[in-house]
Amino acid sequence: MRAITESFDYIIVGAGSAGCVVANRLSANPDVKVLLIEAGGSDRNFWLRLPVGYFRTINDPRFSRLFNTEPSGAVDRSMLWPRGRVLGGSSSINGLIFIRGQRADFDDWEALGASGWSFDGVLKHFKSFETFEGGESYYRGGAGEFNVAKLRNRNEACDAWVGAGVQFGLPMNEDFNAESTYGVGAYQLAIKDGWRVSSAAAFLSGIRARKNLSILLNSSVSRVLFEGRVAVGVEWLAGRDKVSARAEREVILSAGAIQSPQILQLSGVGPADLLRKLDLPVVHDAPEVGRNLQDHYQARTIVRLKKPVSLNDDIRKVTKLAKMGASWLFDKSGPLTVGAGQVGGAACTQYSKGARPDVQFNVMPLSVDKPGDPLHKYSGFTASVWQCRAASRGRLEIQSSNPLEQPRIAPNYFAEAIDQRTIVGGVRMLRDIFAQPAFRTLLDEEVLPGVAAQSDEAIFDFVKENGGTVFHCAGTCRMGSDDTAVVDPSLNVRGVAKLRVVDASVMPVVTSANTNAPTLMIGEKGAALIAGGS
């Protein structure tokens, strides 16, 4: 093994959404030395920076690691889970939607034992990293590094869908990041001056010159090094070499909901029976490492429009493409500035408890089989739905001691009957919105699920066969106050010392909407906890 002679105070594994925040905050103290290790390469690529470029990059192996899940639960097929393998992590390839989730999501965390993580406890951390273009307020930040923009593209069909949502009975919501996510409206996006705002762009670009911060790319961490039960450093692969470095204060895993638990298991922190079966030494028997896996599974309804107001139409016209380019270049607006959702909202199916939304909508004026594929040749319009908080839980576990072999991932989608009923209720709700007068004049025909799918069974069959991940995996290093939780409320890994996990894997329950904003918050609060604050 070739060792780095230099040691660091902190070693952070993963330069993704949370890891970049942690690196920024810890290295702000000139008296500490920080090493940030990223398995991927540079984010200097035009398509990574252009907002709409996620259609091209999300499944590109230059920027994503494409994990394969196993058939499990009610979904009897494998699917791809791309995760960012580039500076900025998944924040460099995601759909740019910035939404924190419901107030009750974080109150639930505290009720489940994550003391200090209620909405009132995390709001200051959301605000501290944000600059919202709509202005600072009780709910919104105005001086942070991460810019959040209002939608800068109007589309007739999207406006009609929002109007139909109001006619259906949902309130108009001007800001999903304020008091409530309930209702319909336009999404806000991680964009500044027409360009994507990734975690790397926001939190690393301005501090690369700090002498106490080292950033190492194209380096896959293979394990945490222990002396007894004390984390003292990490080992990683650099070509054919195994390289290590020492951490005097702490090792911080920010490798994400798949690879943070994978690294823990490879390091001897995980289910003892699994580790012994793979001839790995057991540092600490932690059965829940890799358990509690959650994700949002979406069903996409597609309709054909009577008018050519879809991006499917615009993309085939040279004059429209030129107009798109001009709008982006001169006004920083138009279709090139949109993310994976333009409008949407949250609603309550008949299965929701009280007035808390149990489904989330995501709407785009285009249609496609999957990201990266060509747009359909007809005037397509897509409205998708996912269940906010599934009751089903999956798991992941390493398959060998080889750090380059992906873990076995079993999402266990729709194993619980309530999850099946809720997603079917969400699809029926989308159909009801399409049928409202505001949208009916644009509606030609339903393409998916298709008019033949009318019974609950037929709709759920469509969901199983045609739906898929929204790329929101979380929960595999559960935070809590009980002895079986993987990390405590200060994000320390239980059973060992000087090791924390700071990323989406610590979520006790996945937030109800897109997960990038809350993961940034976890990085912000995690850095404060490491520095001795709250």
* Contact predicate 234/39, CB 8 Å: no
Closest by alpha carbon to 89, among 21, 177, 147, 34? 21
Give the C-alpha separation, 314 to 365, whole Å. Answer: 11
DSSP 8-state class, residue 72: B
29-260-110 Cα angle (round to 5):
75
* Contact predicate 13/254, CB 8 Å: yes
Give the C-alpha separation, 463 to 414, whole Å. Answer: 10
Q: Is 504 helix (H, G, I), strand (E, B) or coil?
A: helix
Give the C-alpha separation, 370 to 217, whole Å. Answer: 30
Establish whether 472 is a catalytic residue. Answer: yes
* Contact predicate 270/289, CB 8 Å: yes
* Contact predicate 396/409, CB 8 Å: yes
Give the C-alpha separation, 352 to 512, whole Å. Answer: 13
The structure tokens listed for 391 are: 């009751």
Give the C-alpha separation, 235 to 3, whole Å. Answer: 9
495-499-502 Cα angle (round to 5):
115
Residues 6+ apart with CB under 8 A from 274: 265, 397, 398
The alpha carbon of 261 is separated from its chain's Cα centroid by a whole number of angstroms, namely 16
Q: What is the DSSP string of 425-458?
A: HHHHHHHHHHTSHHHHTTEEEEEES-TT--SHHH
Give the C-alpha separation, 375 to 363, whole Å. Answer: 15
DSSP 8-state class, residue 368: B
The structure tokens listed for 485 are: 């939780």
195 has which bridge partners? 192
Q: What is the 3-state secondary structure (H, E, C) of 294-359?
A: ECCEEEEEEEEECCCCCHHHHCCCHHHHHHHHHHHHHHCCCHHHCCCCCEEEEECCCCCCCCCCCE
Q: Out of 125, 284, 296, 472, which one is annotated catalytic?
A: 472
Query: Helix 103-111 vs helix 119-128: angle between axes, to the nearest 10 degrees?
Result: 130
Active-site residue set? 472
